């Protein structure tokens, strides 16, 4: 069994929970509250900004220039395709420049990006790939599951189209193959560490849907702090 197959099997219960999360199901049905999607777009734009940086870090850690160039291309794709798509969503959802300027990441978004950086700085290129791959792979599988859905909300249809595309599938398959190649060259201890990264990222992917569906907030907001100071 390939290393990627071992990983996919290990996280199947977590991914099934993502497939059946109400955020994902209602997005496909077109019934998701736009407030939840609006919140998701802001948080995911923050996440993707750091995701691209971790992709670039991975490229710098690669052993050969071809892989470095490929990871740089992946980072560029994150910006040119996904982040630009989010920028389009922001305009359609009426998200203002003031809202962007005052944005604060939610606890889950902040924790997930911190997990990615920790894996990158404490490990090697294989750790980076194992950490970021669930985001690629899970979104592709969700896109495949939803691609025959016809939500009446145009924004949801665009989201499904992006992640169920052949272009996105090729990116996913490239990273899976790269991870399998690395798995052949590292120790059992390193493989176990990579498995843990993959498992934790899969958990965070589920938590990300949940965060957006529940409009997650910090327990004590910044305005609460200021209000206490003025009291």
Catalytic residues: 135, 205
For residue 224, name the pLDDT band (cuts at 50, 70, 90): low
pLDDT greater than 70 at residue 230: no
Question: How many CB atoms neighbour CB 200 within 10 A?
Answer: 20
Encoding tokens for residue 111?
A: 């924790």
The average confidence (pLDDT) of the chain is 92
Alpha-carbon torsion (37, 74, 207, 144), positive or negative: positive
Distance CA 231, CA 152 (A): 48
Question: How many CB atoms neighbour CB 185 within 10 A?
Answer: 9
Cβ neighbours for 114, distance < 8 A, ≥ 6 positions apart:
none
What is the tens place of the pLDDT at every residue in 175-220? 999 999 999 999 999 999 999 999 999 999 999 999 999 999 999 9
What is the tens place of the pLDDT at every residue in 90-149? 999 999 999 989 999 999 999 999 999 999 999 999 999 999 999 999 999 999 999 999
Q: What is the pLDDT of residue 160?
A: 94
What is the tens place of the pLDDT at every residue in 13-51? 999 999 999 999 999 999 999 999 999 999 999 999 999
Nearest to 15 by CA among 204, 230, 212, 213: 204
C-alpha distances in angstroms, 54 versus 7, 72, 127, 137? 21, 10, 11, 16
Distance CA 110, CA 177 (A): 29
Tell which wins on pLDDT, 223 or 121. Answer: 121
What angle, rounded to 10 degrees, do the helices at 166-183 and 188-213 form? 150
Give the CATH class of 3-216: mainly alpha
What's the residue count for the chain?
231
């Amino acid at each position: 069994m390939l290393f990627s197959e071992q990983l996919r099997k290990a996280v199947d219960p977590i991914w099934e929970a993502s497939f059946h999360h109400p955020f994902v199901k209602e997005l496909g049905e077109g019934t998701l509250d736009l407030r939840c999607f609006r919140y998701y777009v802001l948080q995911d734009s923050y996440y993707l900004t750091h995701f691209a940086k971790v992709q670039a870090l991975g490229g710098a850690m690669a052993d050969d220039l071809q892989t470095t160039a490929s990871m740089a291309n992946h980072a560029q794709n994150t910006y040119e395709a996904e982040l630009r798509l989010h920028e389009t969503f922001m305009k359609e959802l009426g998200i203002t420049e003031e809202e962007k300027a005052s944005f604060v990441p939610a606890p889950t978004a902040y924790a997930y990006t911190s997990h990615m950086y920790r894996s990158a700085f404490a490990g090697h290129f294989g750790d980076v790939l194992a950490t970021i791959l669930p985001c690629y792979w899970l979104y592709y599988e969700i896109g495949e599951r939803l691609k025959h859905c016809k939500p009446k909300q145009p924004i949801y249809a665009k989201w499904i189209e992006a992640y169920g595309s052949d272009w996105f599938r090729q990116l996913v398959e490239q990273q899976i193959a790269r991870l399998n190649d690395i798995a052949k060259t590292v120790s059992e201890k390193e493989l176990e560490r990579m498995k843990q990264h993959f498992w934790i990222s899969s958990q965070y992917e589920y938590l990300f849907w949940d965060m957006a569906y529940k409009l997650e907030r910090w327990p004590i907001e910044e305005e609460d702090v200021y209000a206490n100071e003025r009291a």
